[in-house]
Every structure is written in structure tokens, then in C-alpha cells.
Amino acid sequence: MVEKTDKRLTSFRHWLKRLNSGIFLLLVFLAFECRDAQAIIIISDEETEQFLADTARPFFKSAGIPFNRNKLYIVQDNSLNAFVGDGNNLFVHTGTITAADSRNELEGVIAHEIGHIEGGHILRGKIQAQSLQKIGLASAVLAGAAAVIGGRGDVAMAMAVGSQGATLNQFLNYRTSEERSADEAAVKLLKANHKSPVGMLDFMKKIEQRNIMSGREEMPYFRTHPMTKERISFLEQAVKESGISATSAKDEKFDRVKAKLIGFLEPPAQTLRRYPVSDTSTPALYARTIAYFKQMKLQQALRSADELIAREPDNPYFHELKGQIYIENGKVRQAEAEYEKALSLMPNSALFKVNWAQAALETSPDKSKLQKIVNQLNQAAVQRPGSLIYMLLSRAYEGLGQREYAEYAAAEFSLGIGEFKAARRQAENALRQAAGNKKLRLKLNDLLARIDDYEKNL
């Protein structure tokens, strides 16, 4: 028999459903511990990720840094921030996207973060943090000096105020020089791509305004970036010298992504005030559709979704949204059809494969459909490994009667959510059942080795 973690799986599905209704159609692709020891929420959305990837890719290329879309993450956080982490991972806060008034502003933010990668600041920041530990700031470092490296150290830095302040100032001065270096690199990257630094300047002014409103200009210990006035002066000079004017053309992709995020992340009433019915643009209709959906106005949301699809029948994101409206209201067959349409329009999307498989599993699929679900999920697992994929795979394999594979997938899921003991039991069960399956046994031995590594590092 397959050893299932029914309570965990059920609670995970319920948690996912609650989260989906509050964010987007999306899956929470991963959640992990941020460098400031506070959990951050990573959300996945095909449309937003594609937009950010298209925006970031040219700057990575100009910097001579390999680009991998799977290393680009969207952080659900209303603050104006972006940061880079180990392995050249790039994190962009939703607040940065929704506060921006143009793609050019986002280009400036992203170019700045790539400047940190280009300058090797992540590694050097680690070395600086280790130096602090050696001279008596271990508590500050462990609590969050590493967060300063990542771009967010506000809470942790409060711990260091006092007798250790002089040493901390030395560290912040180091950070200041890094930020100046990243600004300079960003301006060069923008110029190489014929982009104006105007957007970067405009966004820095937004940060300055928020800092003033929150009182941060009076609290130097709470700043993880140098004085914004200094950076603004540098950027004003860069704008004068660039000779490149900021594009004034309307960017429909940017407007849609921004409207989508606002629709899912802000209260519906606020969204509807921001995008009134008098605004007949597609981004406004997009935001209103999501707001109606969040208000549980099913028919109104579906009518708006149909209007979106009528405007652009081959837009996969509109079919995806309609699929979410259906599935969140228990209409799984209609949801499956919409997700299948979205997948047919974008067949390489791992997220769309998972959306379709999740809906299809709820329709009491026959063996043929179960095999199709398995195939799609295995493809998605190669493209974008994630715990939810393995949870769904376990269900599909069990339906096919392939219990050794169901145990394997359940073990991958358990490992993904930190249930190491359950993962080991499930992997060992699968190993016993896969006596003649060399390929699966290799996977299971690799999985058990990963479990060992995780347990050693606990």
C-alpha cells in the first residue's frame, strides 16, 4: 500500500486553495526562509514572470551573466525592494512592480541588482559579515546582517544599535560603496541597451518619498542603502549625460501585469476605485475581473472574463484566469477546459501544465487521462520542480496503480515540505516495491542521499 500523508496533503490543498483566492491563479511555487530569518512568500505567475524575464534578460546579457528564468522570483511584499541572492537569484517585490509607473522604472531597479551580481557583492558581503562575527557582532549577523546583503536588514539592524554602533557603521559604509558601484553599473547596463536612466531616477525619488513619510531619513541604522539624496544626485547627472530619452509610448504588457497584481493583491473595493468602469482599457477590465472574482461575484467575473477573451481569443492568460474563476467555485470540468485551452496556446508553460493537471485530477479521470496527467506533470517537474507537482503526481500514479512511483512522488513532496522522516519512510517503501526497476531505484537512491544531506544540516 502507498504510505500517504493524508492530513498533510489535505491541509496543503486547503491552504493552497485559500491562498489562490487571495493572490492569483497561481501556485505558490516555493516558500523559504529569507536572509533576515523571516519567511517570505514567493508567488508564481506565468504572465508576470515572462514579463520580468523579458525585461531582465538583455541586462544579464550585457553584463555577461548567464540568465535563467527559474532564478527569477516574485516576492509578495508591498515594499519597494528587489535583491539578489546566492546563485545569482533575482527577487523582485510585488510592491516594486505596482509602484512603478513604467517599465523603464523596473528596468532601472533590475539593472541595479544585476550590478550587484556583476560586482561580486554577494560573496564580498558574506566575507564582511564573517568579519563582524569575529569582532563581537555574532548576534547581529546571525539575526540578520546577512539580510543587509540581500537588501533587507531593518529589523536585524535595530539589535546592533548601542555600543556596537561604530562597528555597524563600518559595515554600512561598506554597503554604501557597494550601492554606489551598483548604481554606476546599472547606468552602464541601461546605456548598453539604449535605455534611459530616467526611470531609475524616478523610482529612487519614490523610495526617498516613502523613507521621508516613514521617518527612515532620521534613522540611519535602518538604512540598508546609502543616503538616497546622494544616489539621486548621481542619477540626475547620469540623466543629463545619457542623451537617451525615456520612451513615452504606452507599454501594454507592463500595464496588464501591474493591473493583474493590483487586482489580486489589493482589496477589491480599492481595485475598483483605481480601475473604474469608465476606464474601458484592457488592463482596467483585467483588474476589475479579478476584483469581481475576489468579491465572489461569479457571474459578473465570468462575464468580464468572457469580454477579455472576446477581445483577445488567443490570449492564454485570459483563459487561465477564467479557469481559476471556475475551479475556485467548484466547477472543475469547466476549469479543466479553460486550462487546457491556455496550455494549447502556451504548451511549454510548466505552470499551465500543473494548472490543467490539478483540475483534471478532480474530474475522476480514466486511465488514459491519468497517464496524460502523469506525462504533463513529469515534464513540469523537469522545468520547474516543486512540491505541489509531486503531490499531484502521487495521486495520479496511485490512480494508475503504480504504487512504487506514487511512493516516490509522495517522498519528494514530503522532502519538499520538510517532513524528512516521512520522506525517508516513503522512499524506502518505494525502494522495496521497485526491485526490478533500475531507473526508479537510481532516483530513489539519489533521493535518500538528499534526505541524508538535509538531516545532517539540521
Is it the case that residue 28 has pLDDT exceeding 50? no
Position 245 scores a pLDDT of 74
| pLDDT-based confidence at residue 202 (cuts at 50, 70, 90) | very high
Position 230 scores a pLDDT of 81
- Is 455 inside a domain boundary? no
CATH code (residue 158):
3.30.2010.10
**Tens digits of per-residue pLDDT, 114-155?**
999 887 756 444 444 444 344 343 333 333 333 333 333 333
Position 221 scores a pLDDT of 34
pTM: 0.80
Give the closest residue to 156 by CA, choosing from 227, 224, 90, 216.
224
- Is 8 inside a domain boundary? no
| pLDDT-based confidence at residue 178 (cuts at 50, 70, 90) | confident
Position 118 scores a pLDDT of 87
Specify the residue for cell string 502507498.
Answer: 2
Q: Which of 38-42, 64-68, 81-85, 366-370 is least confident?
A: 38-42
**30-33, strands of its sheet edge to edge:** 30-33, 39-43, 72-75, 89-93, 82-85
Position 333 scores a pLDDT of 97
| pLDDT-based confidence at residue 243 (cuts at 50, 70, 90) | confident
**Burial (0-12, 13-18, 19+ Cβ within 10 Å), 79:** middle
Position 229 scores a pLDDT of 78
Give the closest residue to 254 by CA, choosing from 102, 444, 56, 420.
102
Average pLDDT rounded to a whole number, residues 171-193 = 79
Separation between Cα atoms, residue 36 and residue 268, nearest integer Å: 31
Q: Which of 207-216, 265-274, 449-458 is least confident?
A: 207-216
More confident residue, 104 or 29: 104
Average pLDDT rounded to a whole number, residues 396-425 = 96
Is it the case that residue 445 has pLDDT exceeding 60? yes
- Is 208 inside a domain boundary? yes
Is it the case that residue 227 has pLDDT exceeding 90? no
Is it the case that residue 26 has pLDDT exceeding 50? no
Position 85 scores a pLDDT of 80
- Is 24 inside a domain boundary? no
Q: Which structural domain, as residue segments, surrounds residue 227? A: 34-242
**Tens digits of per-residue pLDDT, 329-383?**
999 999 999 999 999 999 999 999 999 999 999 999 999 999 999 999 999 999 9
- Is 304 inside a domain boundary? no
Position 128 scores a pLDDT of 44
| pLDDT-based confidence at residue 298 (cuts at 50, 70, 90) | very high
- Is 361 inside a domain boundary? no
Is it the case that residue 267 has pLDDT exceeding 90? yes
Position 249 scores a pLDDT of 62
Position 399 scores a pLDDT of 97
- Is 431 inside a domain boundary? no
Position 226 scores a pLDDT of 53
* Residues 57, 189 contacting (CB under 8 angstroms): no
Counting the structural domains of the chain, the total is 1
Position 39 scores a pLDDT of 65
- Is 207 inside a domain boundary? yes
Dig out the grid coordinates for 438 from the structure. 533500475
| pLDDT-based confidence at residue 308 (cuts at 50, 70, 90) | very high
